[in-house]
Structure 1
Amino acid sequence: METMHSYKADSNGIRLDKWLTEQNSEWSRSAVQDWIKSGHVTVNEQIVKSNYKIKANDVIEVEEPEVVELEITAEDLQLDIVYEDEDVIVVNKPRGMVVHPAPGHPGGTLVNGLMHHCNDLSGINGVARPGIVHRIDKDTSGLIMVAKNDKAHESLVEQLKNKTTKRRYETIVAGVISHDKGTVDAPIGRDPQDRQKMTVTEMHSREAVTHFQVLDRFSRHSHVACELETGRTHQIRVHMKYIEFPIVGDPKYGPRKKHQFPIEGQALHASMLGFKHPRTGEEMLFNSEPPEDFKACLQHARTFSI
């Protein structure tokens, strides 16, 4: 469980991250900076940066994440390695696999499998998330890049920040989208009604942009490709719900009227991943066909009775 802390600033001109560590001696500066970056800290209900200079009477709220000590066990999970060299690994993650250990998922994760596969992973994200540059949801399948050293990690993160990576997903949504292409530009933050969900909101939110293209239309559903310009938690799932074309099978954001599709979780697959190699600068591009359960959902949508 997250712990909420609320403060009212009594001074001026001090950096937010420094001021917060002075309020709680158990917090490290780096931990506070991570919380600020991930949107767990707000000033007057707005997300700010670590170098924000506080003002007297600012209302500062902190969601302190639960600290869990984890011991990562190497597991032979027979990972589907698409590409590997001395700097990066590209893995085709199956649906149902969590990316890194967390409360409730101590084992069977991508990180557990990576620890068995190789010993040289970047340490920037600490013991629980070695090498992890970005994440995809447990029930989203497809391509994910992993850094094998800190230099590669920094390069890949910078590319994500600069929006130069290519991340394309395929999905199946409820409803027939009439226009061929579109862009959803709507900020995403925690749902104030349900802290386990994200939503489009101006409160405590961050920029989120998703481009989409219709690949095929069926009687009641659409096969869609989505490209991420930003990478917020549950972004495609939230944005498709926001434009009223929710992803089939999605337990959090899916259509209200449930149609039984042959899949466990949302029909969402990370089908393309592109980035510049962190050492050579070479353009790397990888593609992955959707898994069999996704293809079965496409067939189900094609034959869906009107």
Structure 2
Amino acid sequence: MSNQYQVTNQDNGKRIDKLMIEIEPSVSRTQVQSWIKEGHLVVNGDPVKSNYKVQEEDEITWEVPEPEPLKIEAEDIPLNIVYEDKDVIVVNKPRGMVVHPSSGHPNGTLVNALLHHCDDLSGINGVTRPGIVHRIDKDTSGLLMVAKNDNAHQSLAEQLANKTTDRKYEAIVHGEISHEYGTIEAPIGRDPKDRQSMAVVEEGKSAVTHFQVLQVFKDFTHVECVLETGRTHQIRVHMKYINHPLAGDPKYGPRKSLPIDGQALHARTLAFNHPVTNERMDFHVEPPSDFTQMLELIKKRS
């Protein structure tokens, strides 16, 4: 079934791939670019490139391709499930676990474990990311919501886009932060000097992180971070930007840090409206033992 959208004056000059994720908030820009490349999306009946800038009254027509059959293997990996019903699963992901398969991590991921646990995951994000609405980094622990069907996926994705979810993190950062609260508003994009890393760059996507100081120690600060947006490596990049990189961060932190395996970052709180009942769901999990051990270590040093 074809979908259509006529470009308005407000949309004039926008890139087609950027406009499409505003029209279809449940899909990613990468997916839109794939639709364009494979001929599932045309403008005025003609194929375009992803960087095509739309004009007022352009007619965009697209078809959402059927998801490919899942090819990722189910693996019997233990899961810490905080909540589950027929629509959503909330998982407490351990440090060291990758969320979905990729060329560098073909197995042993959260998705592999989820496929063993249940076979009713949404297919919106394709074969390698069934059910995955949002991600946290491999070495970040904590709460993640997973959609078990496409309707739930679309609802949760829209809540993320509309900033109606609550996501709070605990982190240990280098340096002593002298003020109790702060907001970092700085755009994030690919680091032009290192395409494997993210950085604050002028042409990046809007990114906002709020933080509150929980406790100050000698050379370190324990903080709570609240995401207003959800950019790749956002907290890690933003805290580095204000010269307080995360302890243990192998990519953005200093070489000499706390003896923790990966960045000291934990997704402690997750809240959203249930995609069917609209009930507010609110979940909290304490940081893992290695995180609390690092807190005890810096307390003793102080």
Q: What amino acid maps onto 2:54 in structure 1?
A: Y
Trace 1:1-306 onto structure 2 (pairs within 5 A).
Answer: 16=16, 27-29=37-39, 52-53=54-55, 71-203=71-203, 205-255=204-254, 258-259=256-257, 261-304=258-301
Q: Runs ≥4 in structure 1, deviation > 3 angstroms?
A: 12-17, 29-32, 50-54
Partner of 1:20: none
Contact 1:170 1:226 in 2 (8 A): yes
Residue segments in structure 1 that go unaligned for 5+ positions in a row:
1-11, 18-23, 33-40, 44-49, 55-68
Between the aligned partners of 1:242 and 1:193, the Cα distance in structure 2 is 15
Partner of 2:24: none
Alpha-carbon displacement from aligned partner over 1:81-107 (angstroms, at most 9, x marks no partner):
000001000000000000000011011
What's the % identity of the aligned pairs? 66
Distance 1:127 1:183, change over 3 A: same
Between the aligned partners of 2:15 and 2:221, the Cα distance in structure 1 is 48
**TM-score, length of structure 1 as denominator length:** 0.79
How much has 1:255 moved relative to structure 2? Answer: 2.6
Between the aligned partners of 1:167 and 1:262, the Cα distance in structure 2 is 26
Between the aligned partners of 1:152 and 1:26, the Cα distance in structure 2 is 26
Alpha-carbon displacement from aligned partner over 1:33-77 (angstroms, at most 9, x marks no partner):
xxxxxxxx6x5xxxxxx76349xxxxxxxxxxxxxx983110111
Contact 1:181 1:213 in 2 (8 A): yes
How much has 1:263 moved relative to structure 2? Answer: 1.4
Contact 1:122 1:150 in 2 (8 A): yes
Between the aligned partners of 1:26 and 1:229, the Cα distance in structure 2 is 30
Q: What amino acid maps onto 2:236 in structure 1?
A: R
How much has 1:201 moved relative to structure 2? Answer: 0.8
Alpha-carbon displacement from aligned partner over 1:186-220 (angstroms, at most 9, x marks no partner):
000000000000000112x1000000000111011
How much has 1:262 moved relative to structure 2? Answer: 3.0
Other structure's SS at 2:268 match: strand
Q: How many residues align?
A: 258
Between the aligned partners of 2:237 and 2:261, the Cα distance in structure 1 is 18
Residue segments in structure 2 that go unaligned for 5+ positions in a row:
1-11, 18-33, 43-49, 57-68
Between the aligned partners of 2:264 and 2:271, the Cα distance in structure 1 is 22
Other structure's SS at 1:303 match: helix
How much has 1:284 moved relative to structure 2? Answer: 0.3
How much has 1:28 moved relative to structure 2? Answer: 1.9
**TM-score, length of structure 2 as denominator length:** 0.80
How much has 1:31 moved relative to structure 2? Answer: 8.9
Give RMSD over aligned pairs.
2.7
Contact 1:220 1:304 in 2 (8 A): no
Contact 1:262 1:296 in 2 (8 A): no
Between the aligned partners of 1:25 and 1:133, the Cα distance in structure 2 is 19
